[in-house]
Amino acid sequence: MRKLIGLGIVGLLLAGCCPFTRVCPIHEQTTRGKLRHVVLFKFKADAKPEQIKAVEDGFRALPAKVGGVRYFEWGTDVSPEKLSDGFTHCFLVTFDTAAARDAYLPHPAHKAFVETLKPILDKVLVVDYVARK
């Protein structure tokens, strides 16, 4: 009886805390957190301020053009640690599901934004994760 109860508890824990949330469609709907899409930019040294401003404005306009974005925020590096490795801009896009993110990436508005970014982009870092509490 103890084994049965123990197995039941383990099963409940696993069902609510799948480590493969990003790739497991069965558990996608049961995750507590939203999918976060973190994008960091490092611009070329010769990028002009007006070009960088156009990238900021273009990224800020994407949530209104592409459905599925739950929350959006952005900012520039202000860390006193000086560990940014030249990345100056961070954009956080929150989606309800991986499917919403997957529809956002190939969307024509997103692709057009990327084309305006390319000429001044030195490096990009993208990390997607499911928010956990």
The model's pTM:
0.74
11 and 41 in one domain?
no
20 in the same domain as 10: yes
Residues 114 and 81 occupy one common structural domain: yes
Residues 18 and 37 occupy one common structural domain? no
Residues 55 and 91 in one domain: yes
> Is 22 found in the same domain as 87?
no
- 36 and 26 part of one domain: no
Q: Provide the residue range defining the domain that includes 5.
A: 1-31
Give residue-wise pLDDT tens across range 88-116. 999 999 999 999 999 999 999 999 999 99
Percent of the chain topping pLDDT 70: 76
Written in H, E and C, the secondary structure of the chain is CHHHHHHHHHHHHHHHCCCCCCCCHHHHCCCCCCEEEEEEEEECCCCCHHHHHHHHHHHHHHHHHCCCEEEEEEEECCCCCCCCCCCCEEEEEEECCHHHHHHHCCCHHHHHHHHHHHHHEEEEEEEEEECCC
* Shared domain check, 89 and 24: no
- CATH code: domain of residue 111: 3.30.70.100
Specify the number of domains making up the chain: 2
pLDDT band at 132, cuts 50/70/90? Answer: confident
Q: What digits encode the pLDDT tens for the residues 71-90?
A: 999 999 999 999 999 999 99
Same domain (yes/no): 12, 36? no
**Do 6 and 44 share a structural domain?**
no
